[in-house]
Every structure is written in C-alpha cells, then in structure tokens.
Copies of this chain bind each other. A is one copy, B any other.
C-alpha cells in the first residue's frame, strides 16, 4: 500500500482504528486500518536487523505515531495494535524463540518491548498466521468460513483460520505447513530445518532454484543453462520467464513444485477440511493473470483431484491470495481488532 492514492480518506473511515505491524527480515511494514480493514496510512522501512532487537522494537513502536501523523489523527485515536513476526515464537509470552532471518532476536520479548515503545497493548501473532487472517478478513478468503493459507517464498509457511479463529497450537507451532512430510523415501531431500522430506525442500523458491541448478548441472538442454552461463542469477522469476518463453525443463520444474504443494494441500484438506485453500507469498508466478500462474495453480488442483477424497476435491475452492505484501499488516491489525472485541 505504498501508493497513497489507494489509502482511504479519514472522512470515509469507520472507527475503531487498528495498527498492524509486520516484521520481516528485510522490511518493516506498518499500516493503519479502519474497522473494515481498509488502509488509512502505510509506512515501511528497512528492518536493519544489525541495529539489534531493541532498536527494531523502538522503531516498530514508533510506527504507531508515524501512522497517526500520516492519517491526521491523534495516537490516542488508535484502538488496538497488532504485531506479526517470523517464528518460531512463543505466542503466550510474546517472545521470539529462534528466528532464522532475525539473527540476534533469540528469546527477545518483542511483544512487550514494542508495547512499551508505543504505549499500547500489542496482540502478537506468527507472521504467516497474520497474513492468513488478513486474507480471511478482507482478501481472497473474505467469503470463506474456514481457510488454509500457504505462504510460498524462500521458505513455506501456513496459517489456518476457522470461523474467525486462528490455529495457533499448544506450543505456538501450529500450521508449520512447510514441514509436512511429503517424501518418506531414503533419498528424501534435506529441509533447511535439518529434517528430511519436508515440503519446504520440494516446493519453496529455494527448492525450485536448487532443482533448476541441478537441471543445468545435469546438462539438460534448457535455456536456464544459457542464463547461468551469462552469469544471471537463477530465480523463480527467471525460471517462470524461461518457461513462458517455451523452455520445457523450466516449466516441468515449476509444475513439479506445484505437484508437491498439491500433496501438502491434500494432507491439510484431510486434516482441517477448510472451505477453501489460498495460495499467497512471493512465489505465485503472477497468479491467475499470468499463464505460468494459471498452470501452477491448475497443477495444484490436479494433484488434489488425483489424491483427495472426491467430495473434498470437488467442493474445496483453491485460489490465489489478493492482498500481496499487505496481508501481514492488515491481518495483524485485524487480529488486534478481534482481540479488542473479546476474540
């Protein structure tokens, strides 16, 4: 929501207002949203992890006043504040345990430090869960009673919302959907978490790029070899570009990742049985607007038709997310709003 023209004017906004804070390894995103989830003001800045957790917490807390100023309201007019951070964390105590892409944040009480810096109680959530809630509240899942959400990017995360309630887990580890076991063979791939056969090792951007490099090294006749020879980094965007240009290997790699994602989706459907499944995150190939995005989601749907109970395959909608990178702060704000109403 970097484009101010998309912000709604204060006169059109419905109170109470909430702030959502989305802490990522690269950027902080912060938004002020109204009671219908519409953005009144947005602010982003680099996380600069190296400045340390207390500095980051101070700047996160400072976003509340920044957003109020941008929207032309007093900070006191903000009813609730929500914060989403990468896991694993302990939701009850508001502590980040061991965040891979936030070095130095181990066991840092982020919720209470942000709260101290903005003088608001802070509702704390996993970032993928916050994004799931954002899509559920006003995005792709706004017509769904229950929803499974995938965040497809460098890693794979997930969130589950059922009748407005997010699945959090007893140890704050629910919906670690990238770590569903999809390959139990002895030659199963190694997941960044250290275990074997997890979905993240098959369907994440990292896994896709690794497979593409493997294809290049194997000497398969692929345009990706030309890309690599020219010194251009192989990324999911490049792989999709070459697939669109007719490279069969690139297309196969994308569809293979989609197939694994479909297997993970079947497992979620047989456990959660949501009304719908929403695919979000950076690795969504231009979504339905792009032929590669269409082929990707169609392959997920095909895998579901091939492997799920027919009734579920028929009746469970599978679609892309619509809020893009805004889902996290909107969802964090929405969770704070819901908590403010007593859940």
A88 interfacial contact with B, CB 8 Å: yes
Q: Which of B145, B184, B267, B312 contacts A183 (CB 8 A)?
A: B184
A270 interfacial contact with B, CB 8 Å: yes
Q: Which of B170, B267, B311, B312 contacts A273 (CB 8 A)?
A: B170
Q: Is the CB of A146 within 8 A of B175?
A: no
CA A38 to CA B221, docked complex, whole Å = 70
CA A174 to CA B163, docked complex, whole Å = 14
Q: A182-B181, A183-B184, A263-B184 are in contact. Are A271 and B174 (CB under 8 A)?
A: yes
Segment 52-101 of A: residues with Cβ below 8 Å from B = 88, 97
Q: Which residues of B contact A275 (CB under 8 A)?
A: 170
Q: Is the CB of A271 within 8 A of B271?
A: yes
Q: Which residues of B contact A311 (CB under 8 A)?
A: 88, 97, 171, 173
Q: Is the CB of A179 within 8 A of B273?
A: no
The digit string for A183-204, where 1 denotes a CB below 8 A from any CB of B, is 1110000000101110000000
Query: Does more than half of chain A's interface fall in helix, strand or loop, or is it mixed?
Result: loop
**Smallest CB separation, A266 vs chain B (Å):** 6
Q: Is the CB of B267 within 8 A of A181?
A: yes
Q: A272-B167, A307-B195 are in contact. Are A312 and B173 (CB under 8 A)?
A: yes
Q: Is the CB of A272 within 8 A of B273?
A: no
Q: Is the CB of B180 within 8 A of A272?
A: no
**Smallest CB separation, A91 vs chain B (Å):** 11
Top 3 A-B pairs, shortest CB-CB distance = A169-B273, A174-B273, A170-B275
Which residues in A have some Cβ–Cβ distance to B below 8 Å? Answer: 88, 97, 145-146, 160, 162, 167-177, 179-185, 193, 195-197, 263, 266-275, 306-309, 311-312, 315-316
| Known interface pairs A88-B309, A167-B272; 6 further A-B residue pairs with C-beta atoms within 8 A, sorted by A's residue number | A145-B170, A176-B270, A183-B184, A195-B307, A197-B307, A271-B272
